[in-house]
Homo-oligomer: A and B are copies of this chain.
């Protein structure tokens, strides 16, 4: 990576981490300072785990999981290791999202509030189920060594598209949840009279949106994609699919008219561009 590109990447990564941390911090301040705090007793304290776990797991950790291949200092790590980290972060996000769903179902049951009536709940539960499916298919096709390369190549553009779509839908669902909660909770003074909690939590919503925008930018710059390993096309956790994990770089997988030679010369060109040597700095596992 040229020094300029590297600095640009680092700047955006730091910005994303900062905005992501602020989102989690703002969520904690919201529930601990403006709301009742946290607990697991069927009361509002239990409900409050819902936003905390969703923003921490389903927004922040999922966002980091999406861009983890793009950290240049991981390019010398094996692809299998990076896939495991990618899958592990998504699994962590899944776990936190499921606990967050349980918290809100528990809370509704304890208060005899009906389940699943709002648009937020319809989209939210759908996205959790599809996210679990995406994780299972991802492990089955890309992490485990059994799927043939043709299946990996065909599945990768769908995996990348679904991943970004689910991430965006999660953010939309969080913003709907914030909206819902503020209209419920802010009665006296009302939301429309600009109470500090309203302004503060609106700001939290903006932070989450900006975090999403930064992740979306980082994940879709072709120049920040993990370089392909030349000559590793036939290794199960090495080559062919490597070129396709970048959302914007699916042209490689879809250009059926491009030869392997072109792919390899591309890889070599990228290695030069990104300043890596050719002497096995990176293991392909």
Contacts and interface: CB of A to CB of B under 8 A. Distances in A.
Nearest to A173: B175
A283 interface: no
Interface of A is mostly: helix
A280 interface: no
Interface stretch (A46-54, A188-196, A233-241): A188-196
Contacts of A273: 256-257
Given A114-B194, A216-B165, A202 B119 contact: yes
Interface residues of A, number: 55
Given A161-B217, A169-B209, A251-B251, 14 more contacts: A119-B175, A119-B179, A119-B206, A123-B205, A168-B168, A172-B176, A172-B209, A175-B176, A176-B176, A183-B183, A222-B255, A248-B250, A248-B251, A249-B251
Contacts of A187: none
A171 interface: yes
A202 B257 contact: no
Interface string A255-276: 1111000000000010011000
The 7 closest A-B pairs by CB, nearest first: A172-B172, A222-B251, A119-B205, A119-B202, A117-B192, A176-B179, A114-B192
Contact of A179 (B118, B171, B192): B118
22 contacts: A117-B192, A119-B175, A122-B205, A123-B209, A165-B213, A165-B216, A171-B172, A173-B175, A175-B176, A179-B179, A179-B180, A180-B183, A183-B183, A183-B184, A220-B248, A222-B251, A222-B254, A223-B255, A248-B251, A255-B269, A257-B269, A257-B273
A184 B176 CA distance: 14
Interface in A100-137: 113-114, 117-120, 122-123
Contact of A113 (B168, B192, B249, B257): B192
A204 to B, nearest CB: 9
A221 interface: yes
Contacts of A23: none
Contacts of A20: none
Contacts of A184: 183
Nearest to A117: B192
A63 interface: no
Contact of A123 (B114, B117, B165, B206): B206
A161 B216 CA distance: 8
A182 interface: yes
